[in-house]
Amino acid sequence: MQLQEILYSQGFGTRRVCAGLIQQGFVQVYPAGEGASPLVCKEASAEFEATGLRFRVQGTDWPYAEKAYVLLHKPAGTECSQKPSTYPSIYTLLPSPLRLRPQKAAVQGVQAVGRLDQDTTGMLLLTDDGKFIHRMSSPRHHVPKVYEVTVKHPLDARQVEKLLTGVVLDDDPKPVRAAACEAVSEFHLRLTLTEGKYHQVKRMVAAVSNRVEALHRSQIGALALPSDLGPGQWRWLSAAELAMVSA
């Protein structure tokens, strides 16, 4: 694949912009082999094997990714929307190439796999793989998501039992059950869900006569939010981690 096509596919701008970056010497390519230093390439039409390629654009290293899968630690006070109404968008936390990756659909770049409320923090996945988004979001696949819930009133065994056996939400006569539920402490509930209804955690907790004061998603599938990834930070998912969230 030509180098300008590789950069274009990774979201670095139009083909003309990508060719300009290369011709001006802003692009370096890592040769095969561990520890090799990147080399400047000024030929936009230079051919490279895209799979496994690593390159540097304006001082920042990038791996070639046919599809992007990233993990974001969502901070409070952000919206999971391209067009936020009140708070800053989570997409402003990502570098522009992730936001500009070309897609056949009208919307460019990676998209959030599901949404978290503006005041909810924690683990959020983003990708430009539509099939992955559908698989992770579909209730048929029962992907577990773990939430750390701070509640207003002291927890008791009755509340935990009701969340496990099922509560009725106002817009759905069918009871909604937690896949797992544990009172970690008097005001800390750990709740595991396998579906994603609107404001589901808050409404389930309200249905047992309590109130959510703070909400944090700590795990998706078998993958926990890394302790070294601070609020507002992101990183690529490894192949092993991708398998853990989608298993």
- Residues serving a catalytic function are 117
Contacts for 73 with CB less than 8 Å, ≥ 6 apart? 121, 122, 123, 124, 225, 229, 230, 231, 232, 233, 234
241: left (phi over 0), alpha (psi -120 to 50) or beta: alpha
> Burial letters for 149-161: b for 16+ Cβ neighbours within 10 Å, e otherwise?
bebeeebeeebbe
Q: Would you state the structure tokens that stand for residue 144, as one six-digit string?
A: 């577990």
Q: Would you state the structure tokens that stand for residue 22, as one six-digit string?
A: 């290369």
Nearest Cα to Cα of residue 78 among 86, 87, 65, 67: 87
Nearest Cα to Cα of residue 111 among 69, 78, 64, 65: 69
Coil, strand, or helix at residue 177? coil
Taking the CA atoms of residue 80, residue 86, residue 92 and residue 98 in that order, the dihedral angle to the nearest 10 degrees is 40
Coil, strand, or helix at residue 219? strand
Question: In this structure, which amino acid lies at residue 156?
Answer: D
